[in-house]
Structure 1
Amino acid sequence: MNSTLAHDRSLRLFQFLQAFTQLKVKPQRTSDHDTLLWFYSLPQEPEIQSVARRASQDTTPEVWLSVRKPKVLAHPELPESLRPWVTARLDDSSKLPVSLSQRFSHGHRAG
């Protein structure tokens, strides 16, 4: 019984010391690499829904910020008259289209 009492006291002492050291350490909520973004500064687009722009402020919703992927529109078709001047594919938006600065036609002869 004496060893149980000593064990209980030492356990409570270590729990106290652990709680005491946690009081001195402030939790880090931000870092130097974080960026603060206010809800009101978000663009007003149909794809962006935030708690700050709700019609009713009576209750707190489960979702505070929702951003849907926007619909990507297809690029316009290249007119037939310009097709011989463009040598690259136009369906990759990460690459610039390549156009010819001059073009020689073998079907027409100067005369």
Structure 2
Amino acid sequence: MHKKSVLFSSLLVWILGSGLATTSMADEASAEKVKQLIEAADEARKQAASVNGEWRDTGKMIKKAKELLKKGDFVAAAKLANKAAKQGHLGYEQAMSQKDLKMPSYLHYE
């Protein structure tokens, strides 16, 4: 189930991000597209948080992207939203890869 949602979120971010990257970002970045990017980034953040893998700055980036969107700086907001989405996906992957991590007996980890 988690793999499907990670794949879907990654695909959504990639599709939306590639549309912004292939043409001039100033021409292509509209408020609606940036809102979708921010929503995708927030979904990725929530997914990472669901497995205790949310990175420290991801939420701050999403908040800043929303502020930039309100100011009308669509290009900067889109870049920040893409970066936040990537951090969300990487945080999820990191948490999942380390959930069965075995600590050596000489380390007393509690």
Query: Normalised by the size of structure 1, how large is the TM-score?
Result: 0.20
Task: Say which structure is richer in strand.
Answer: 1
Higher relative CO (Cα under 8 Å, sequence separation at least 6) belongs to 2
Q: Which has the larger radius of gyration?
A: 1
Query: Normalised by the size of structure 2, how large is the TM-score?
Result: 0.20
